[in-house]
């Protein structure tokens, strides 16, 4: 019903506008002539009716309606009839062309309409001469300026909406790319390490190779489950799987087990009272920990890692340190998409992020995220 209203609303408005112009024209032409000392003739009211009713179709054929109204108004004035309500129809037709057609097309059409209308200044039973140029031109210049202003405002608003839609789409694509990178990158890093172990032990210690393959199977399933949850957000036509919780700090135990299975012992320390966090903050904190531990898998070599969480009234802080090789100048941990993605996540929420060699050796990632205190 709302769609039908949007479709028929403009046509109903134009119909009522045409009816109003018709009533004003029929009722006001004779008084206007009396004030100017001019009478009316047989063609007066037919021309008024044509000009008024044509306005009802102004949105569908703006240029055609301008031509019809211009012809009617010009004939009306050339016949010596008084300046009257018929010019209101001409005003509306000029405004419509200026508001609904490109600037160049509108300027040419309105210019031709003006020259046509000015015919009555020099032709007819009582031509006003040069004195009539200014009043006639005003009936063109004013509606054209108003219509052009409306058109420019509409175009600027459309460009603004398009720019905003493009910005939101780019932000959404970046968010999804960051999520997929974190999920897939962590899973593949763990799988790669376990695959290397399995290949190394397959011939000599098949029972240990079997354990590594078991970890690969479990890690790949967990990564696929998490990836499915992430992509469900993009596919808004499907409901999220309630069995797969959204990633957050509550999943740190599973992450810790996954890393331990991949050969990286991880300790977790919590300072302060754990509490429910806003979804965006909880996800960002978890992704920072996940990506930092993924970097440990990829780049630290034989190492252990420590995760520290600190809950404060107005913020939550996460820190991940390892005992690995640290950052090599120009190496993969010195830059790259992982650290950049973590920094973007944190700063987008108004937090702070640092990453670099730890004082005692290894590498350190630290992020602080603001949290509104729940009262």
Query: Which three-class secondary structure string do you get for the chain?
Result: CHHHHHHHHHHHHHHHHHHHHHHHHHHHHHHHHHHHCCCCCCCHHHHHHHHHHHHHHCCCCHHHHHHHHHHHHHHHHHCCCCCCCHHHHHHHHHHHHHHHCCHHHHHHHHHHHHHHHCHHHHCCCCCCHHHHHHHHHHHHHHHHHHHHHHHHHHHHHHHHHHHHHHHHHHHHHHHHHHHHHHHHHHHHHHHHHHHHHHHHHCCCCHHHHHHHHHHHHHHHHHHHHHHHHHHHHHCCCCCCCCCCCCCCHHHHHHHHHHHHHCCCCEEEEEECCCCCCCHHHHHHHHHHHHHHHHHHHHHHCCCCEEEEEEECCCEEEEEEEECCCCCCCCCCCCCCHHHHHHHHHHHHCCCEEEEEECCCCCEEEEEEEECCCCC
What CATH number does residue 263 fall under? Answer: 3.30.565.10
**Span 8-24, average pLDDT:** 87
Is the residue at 222 inside a domain?
yes
Q: Is residue 316 part of a domain?
A: yes
Which of residues 8 and 242 earns the better pLDDT score?
Answer: 8
- Residue 222 — pLDDT band, cuts 50, 70, 90? low
Query: Which residue from 85, 16, 92, 80 is spatially nearest to 48, judged by alpha carbons?
Result: 85
- Domain holding 91, by residue range, is 2-127
pLDDT at 240: 45
Domain co-membership, 41 together with 174: no
Q: Which two tokens stand for residue 284?
A: 């960002």
Same structural domain, 178 and 83: no
CB 286 within 8 A of CB 336: no
Q: What is the pLDDT of residue 137?
A: 81
Question: With bands split at pLDDT 50, 70 and 90, how would you rate the model's confidence at 91?
Answer: very high
Co-location of 177 and 316 in the same domain: yes
The number of folded domains in the chain is 2
CA atoms of 318 and 269, how far apart (whole Å):
10
Cut 0.85: pTM above it:
no
Examine the pLDDT at 348 and tell me if it is beyond 60. yes
Q: How far apart are CA 142 and CA 289, in angstroms?
A: 65
Residues 289-341: pLDDT tens digits?
988 888 887 777 778 889 999 999 899 999 999 888 765 544 455 555 678 87
The answer on 16 and 110 residing in a single domain is: yes
CA distance 226 to 131: 81
Residue 181 to residue 295: CA distance in whole angstroms: 12
Q: What percent of the chain has pLDDT over 70?
A: 73
Residue 84: pLDDT band with limits 50, 70, 90:
confident
Q: What is the pLDDT of residue 339?
A: 82
Same domain, yes or no, for 89 and 187?
Answer: no
* 110 and 177 co-located in one domain: no
Least confident of 62-76, 83-97, 260-274: 260-274
User: What's the average model confidence in pLDDT over 44-65?
Assistant: 91
Write down the pLDDT at residue 251. 86
Q: What is the per-residue pLDDT for 193?
A: 66
Quick check: is 147 in a domain?
Answer: no
pLDDT digits (tens, 9 = 90+) for 227-263: 666 666 555 544 444 445 567 888 888 888 877 777 7
Distance between CA 342 and CA 369 in Å, rounded? Answer: 12
Q: Are residues 224 and 349 in the same domain?
A: yes
The count of C-alpha atoms lying within 13 angstroms of the C-alpha of 288, restricted to the half-sphere facing its C-beta, is 34
- Lowest mean pLDDT: which of 143-147, 154-158, 195-199, 297-301? 195-199
Q: Do both 227 and 280 map to the same domain?
A: yes
Shared domain for 172 and 280, answered yes or no, is yes
Domain shared by 62 and 189, yes or no: no
Residue 136 belongs to some domain of the structure = no
Q: What is the mean pLDDT of the chain?
A: 79
Q: Are residues 177 and 109 in the same domain?
A: no
> Taking 70 as the threshold, does the pLDDT of residue 29 lie above it?
yes
Tell me which of 258 and 200 has the higher pLDDT: 258
107 with 241, same domain: the answer is no
Mean pLDDT, to the nearest integer, of 196-214? 69
What span, in angstroms and rounded, lies between the C-alpha atoms of 90 and 71? 10
Give me Rg for the CA atoms of the chain: 37
Read off the pLDDT band of 170 (50, 70, 90): confident
């Amino acid at each position: 019903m709302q769609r039908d209203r949007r479709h028929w609303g403009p046509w109903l408005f134009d119909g009522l506008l045409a009816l109003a112009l018709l009533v004003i024209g029929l009722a006001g032409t004779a008084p206007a002539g009396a004030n100017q000392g001019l009478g009316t003739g047989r063609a007066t009211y037919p021309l008024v009716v044509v000009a008024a009713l044509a306005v009802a179709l102004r949105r569908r054929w703006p240029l055609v309606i301008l031509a019809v109204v211009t012809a009617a108004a010009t004939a009306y004035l050339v016949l010596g009839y008084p300046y009257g309500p018929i010019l209101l129809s001409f005003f509306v037709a000029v405004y419509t062309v200026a508001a609904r057609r490109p600037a160049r097309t509108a300027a040419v059409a309105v210019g031709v309409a003006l020259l046509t209308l000015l015919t009555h200044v020099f032709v007819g039973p009582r031509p006003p001469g040069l004195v009539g140029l200014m009043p006639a031109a005003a009936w063109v210049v004013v509606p054209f300026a108003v219509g052009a202003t409306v058109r420019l405002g509409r175009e600027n608003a459309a460009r603004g909406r398009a720019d905003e839609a493009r910005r939101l789409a780019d932000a959404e694509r970046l968010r999804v790319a960051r999520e997929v990178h974190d999920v897939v990158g962590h899973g593949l890093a763990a799988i790669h390490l376990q695959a290397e172990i399995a290949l190394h032990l397959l011939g000599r210690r098949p029972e240990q190779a079997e354990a590594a393959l078991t970890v690969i199977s479990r890690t790949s399933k967990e990564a696929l489950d998490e990836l499915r949850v992430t992509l469900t957000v993009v596919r808004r036509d499907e409901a999220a799987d309630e069995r797969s919780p959204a990633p957050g700090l509550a999943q740190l135990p599973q992450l810790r087990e996954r890393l331990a299975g991949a050969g990286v012992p991880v300790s977790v320390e919590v300072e302060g009272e754990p509490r429910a966090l806003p979804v965006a903050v909880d996800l960002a904190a978890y992704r920072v920990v996940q990506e930092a531990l993924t970097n440990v898998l990829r780049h630290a070599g034989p190492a252990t890692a420590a995760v520290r969480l600190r809950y404060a009234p107005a913020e939550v802080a996460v820190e991940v340190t390892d005992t690995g090789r640290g950052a090599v100048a120009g190496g993969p941990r010195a830059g790259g998409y992982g650290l950049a993605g973590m920094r973007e996540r944190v700063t987008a929420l108004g937090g702070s992020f640092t990453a670099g060699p730890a004082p005692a050796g290894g590498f350190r990632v630290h992020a602080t995220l603001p949290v509104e205190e729940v009262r």
